[in-house]
Chain A
Amino acid sequence: MGFVRNIPSTSTHHSLSDLVFPLVSQRLPHRRSLNTSPRAGGEGAQPLSAFASSTSSSTASSSPSLSSSQERTGSPSLGDLVRPDFPILHQDVNDFKLVYLDNAATSQKPFAVLKSLSEYYETYNSNVHRGIHYLSSKATDAYEQARVKVAAFVNASEPREIVFTRNATEAINLVAYSWGLSNIKSGDEIILSVAEHHSAIVPWQFVAQKTGAVLKFVELTTEEVPDIKQLKGLISNKTKIVVVHHVSNALGSLLPVDEIAHWAHAVGAKILVDACQSVPHMAVDVQELDADFLVASSHKMCGPTGVGFLYGKISLLSAMPPFLGGGEMIADVFEDYSTYAEPPSRFEAGTPAIGETIGLGAAIDYLSTVGMQRIHDYEKELASYLYDRLKAVPKVHIYGPAPTSTVHRAPLCSFNVENIHPTDIATLLDEQHGVAIRSGHHCAQLLHRRLGISSSARASLHFYNTKEEVDVFIEALKDTISFFSSYL
């Protein structure tokens, strides 16, 4: 077998983060994102310029060989440093070392999160907000503390602006059913892009069907990125809400959400930001973006499945009717009617995923310890490395914009290989090389149709992946392509 199978335990190359944060010891610097400290340089709004500064050095690492252009030797990358924290990564799959490159689908969990989950269930599991006894208090405190952590993580102005849901999909449905149905009328317009995830599209189709509103879609440019100019042109005084992703799960592109919010607000429209692919990978500041609603899922940011959150401006949430009815979201209950609690409780009916929410809090602690800026910088480097190496493989077509000094890509690539079905690629990568990628439409059928394809393969990275893993993936891909080419 000619491809790289074994990942060396110590890296022989360096990462950008070493230049930014020289590592003296193995201990990670303690970085906690607090509500009080202003966002350093408005990270959420400045990825463009931040990327620009690192582009020049990252292009140097585009050569396929492992030796880097940097002079120093032996410093491990951020991926190398954090990998030991993620137990699931250290296993064999189909007799090969697992190379997990499906992070846009779900991320892996560090020990800290796993520990918090078992600690919850082993020592203080109890229903929240209801009981008076010791365990219940402890659980309630931890649960509400998680809310505080999430609020701080996205720089909400207060914890009440965070509503816990099952996932981002449920959060979007909450906005659609609660805010949408009571604020949108026949003839109103809802703006989406063709690159949205199904979860951001379908709930608004429900709203349009029920209210008679119209859905307007922003198309792609020739660079395969949503056309911002067209978006601006579509916004009118009929627009009630603009629903856009922050980072695309298929194209890897980032949208200037703060600008879009500005345009929307100018006509009195709201903006809902799908931040599922951004919150895990960079610092996101809802106040900086001036988002009205923002959603994310815990499982994509190293937290457990079963919990996600909606950020909403408290003025909006306070005016919204309930979504799900039941315990917890009520104030008083009578036979014919009930009165409802204030947000966020108003939107949290029934017993929540308590342990999982606390686990999300632990995930945020972990991410904050590593540092979102550090994660972002490392991933930018991974992103270009992945893109450059993948682009160099013959017959591969990558979707989405090419990274330039002004266009920023996330560390993921959706791609197709000429004449080979992505499912075939993904199957053999898994069976013959232990490399996990995804094939399909990635919950973006509209996008795929626009791109003129039925499905694509997607490799998506997170900060615990390494360049060595990208190398394994590329070699495995080449091997797979030649295997199929000889039969087709």
Chain B
Amino acid sequence: MSSAAARPFPGELIRGLRSAAEPRSSFVSVRRLSVVSFPLAFQWFSWPKSRSPLRPVRSQQPQQQQQQQEEAVDLAVLPQGLREIISLFQSVSDPKAKYQQLLHYGGRLPPLDPRYKTEEHRVRGCVSQVWVRAFPDPGDPAAVRFEADSDSALTKGLAALLVLGLSGAPAPAIARIPPEFVHLLGLRQSLTPSRNNGFLNMLKLMQLKALQLYAQGGGDPATNSASGEEIASSDGSIGSVITEVPEGREANSGVNGNRVDHRPALTSIQEVSEVNLDAVDDISPAPTGGSGGRAARIRERLQRELLPLELELEDISYQHAGHAGVRGSSDGETHYNLRIVSKEFEGKTLVKRHRLVYDLLQEELQTGLHALSIVAKTPSEVGMK
């Protein structure tokens, strides 16, 4: 049994990702398809062929929607620790062994100090008792650490998984984690919001507690405007999921809770792709606002490291100004479309290409770059030599 500390082989990771996605035939680069729904998008996720790629997923059957969400889990949104855990689970195919793995995680979780086993830390509605505690990382004030405990071994395993996977990440990143990632583990875990859904309620409580810490600590409102708004709306829905409300309302907020993270992005599919269709080989100037020069920094970095033959960067933050605007900030510089053609992408899978770009833009991602829609091509792919 591999230890949780081992780094996953990229191949395993990709295999795991592919097993959750549909075959690559739908990756054929049509300009519209390259604009995808989630912040920090991946191109490999596919639309069902029967419908227009521009239509939001809302109208689908719940099962199909769940499948869509399964396929659409954007690994880049997940903290590093969680990604490693996912790939570890995916390397184990026997269900019994997965449970053993889960129990193993649970066994590694240190017991929670009894003084934290209070109502304030209790996950509501669990069939077993679960407590969760969040505190700032002593070494890194922006990061959140967790502790948890449960009297049920399997629930403790899930809690351990969340503790290990989420600890050390900043609160906004934690808040963005979609519950659907649990499907990638291959455990049968329902995501239907209900008083009995321990996993979902655990995750929501951890997200809520992380955000509470973040609000207390005081993140920079300007650079974190967009994420701030998302936090506020996530906060609202997270709050209503975990409080004891009648079933119907819970379901609503649960669905909204899942959707809030997606909705602004979903509208961006249409908006952004429409813009893209119009602006073919046009480097649209960034709209006014944003004196930080982020666009220039991004360009400069990418130029230097990737020597692109084509580089188009478009600031589409204004499209998200709605929710950022509520915060009173219109600095923009949070959402971009990037199209880049470079020899550096040769021989690399789409995942690796995106990874490459993200790695180069780490600093931007840490300081308020909220979403990046990437089209990464090699010269031969676009007909150049």
Contact = CB atoms under 8 A, between A and B. Distances in A.
Interface string B22-56: 00000000000000000000000000000000000
Interface string A444-464: 000000000011000000000
A428 B154 CA distance: 9
B304 interface: no
Interface stretch (B94-102, B340-348, B351-359): B94-102
Contacts of B103: 484, 487-488
B328 interface: no
Interface string B119-155: 0000000011100000000000000000000011111
B128 A431 contact: no
Interface string B350-375: 00000000000000000000000000
Contact of A420 (B100, B107, B153): B153
Given A439-B127, A455-B128, A423 B99 contact: no
Contacts of A488: 103, 107, 153
A424 B153 contact: yes
A126 B104 CA distance: 58
A423 B154 contact: yes
A64 to B, nearest CB: 25
Contacts of B188: 94, 431
A421 interface: yes
A421 B155 CA distance: 10
B152 A421 contact: yes
A454 B151 CA distance: 10
A39 to B, nearest CB: 41
A21 B148 CA distance: 58
Contacts of A483: 96, 99
Contacts of A94: 188
Interface in B151-180: 151-155
Contacts of A423: 127-128, 152, 154-155
A440 B153 contact: no
A427 interface: yes
Contacts of A421: 128, 151-155
A477 to B, nearest CB: 16
B199 to A, nearest CB: 12
A454 B129 CA distance: 9
Could you say which interface size class chain B belongs to?
A: 10 to 19
Nearest to A427: B154
Given A439-B127, A455-B127, A431 B155 contact: no
B100 A487 contact: yes
A29 B34 CA distance: 70
A432 B154 contact: no
A484 B128 contact: no
Contacts of B129: 454
Contacts of A440: 127
Interface string A466-488: 00000000000000000110011
A414 to B, nearest CB: 14
A429 to B, nearest CB: 12
| Secondary structure call for the B interface | helix
A420 B128 CA distance: 11
B104 A432 contact: no
B104 A487 contact: yes
Interface residues of A, number: 17
Nearest to A438: B127
Contact of B153 (A431, A454, A455, A487): A487
Contacts of A439: 127
Contact of A484 (B95, B104, B151, B153): B153
A487 B151 contact: no
Given A431-B99, A487-B100, A487-B104, A424 B127 contact: no
B155 to A, nearest CB: 7
A432 B99 CA distance: 10
User: Which residue of A421, A428, A454, A483 has the most chain B CB atoms within 10 A of its CB atom?
Assistant: A421
A424 B128 CA distance: 9
Interface string A385-421: 0000000000000000000000000000000000011
B276 to A, nearest CB: 45
Contacts of B99: 428, 431-432, 483
B175 to A, nearest CB: 28
Contacts of A420: 153
A187 to B, nearest CB: 33
B46 to A, nearest CB: 28
A136 to B, nearest CB: 32
Nearest to A430: B188
Contacts of B154: 421, 423-424, 427-428
A442 to B, nearest CB: 11
B104 to A, nearest CB: 7
Nearest to B103: A487
A404 to B, nearest CB: 33
Contacts of A455: 127-128
Contacts of B128: 421, 423-424, 454-455
Nearest to B102: A487
Contacts of B96: 432, 483
A428 B152 CA distance: 12
Interface of B: 95-96, 99-100, 103-104, 107, 127-129, 151-155, 188
24 contacts: A421-B128, A421-B153, A421-B154, A421-B155, A423-B152, A423-B154, A424-B128, A424-B153, A428-B99, A428-B154, A431-B95, A431-B99, A432-B96, A440-B127, A454-B128, A454-B129, A454-B151, A455-B128, A484-B103, A487-B100, A487-B103, A487-B107, A487-B153, A488-B103
Interface of A: 94, 420-421, 423-424, 427-428, 431-432, 439-440, 454-455, 483-484, 487-488
Given A420-B153, A423-B127, A432-B99, 13 more contacts: A421-B128, A421-B153, A421-B155, A423-B152, A424-B152, A424-B153, A424-B155, A432-B95, A432-B96, A455-B127, A455-B128, A487-B103, A487-B107
The 7 residue pairs across chains A and B that have the minimum distance between CB atoms: A421-B152, A487-B103, A423-B152, A423-B128, A423-B127, A424-B153, A424-B154
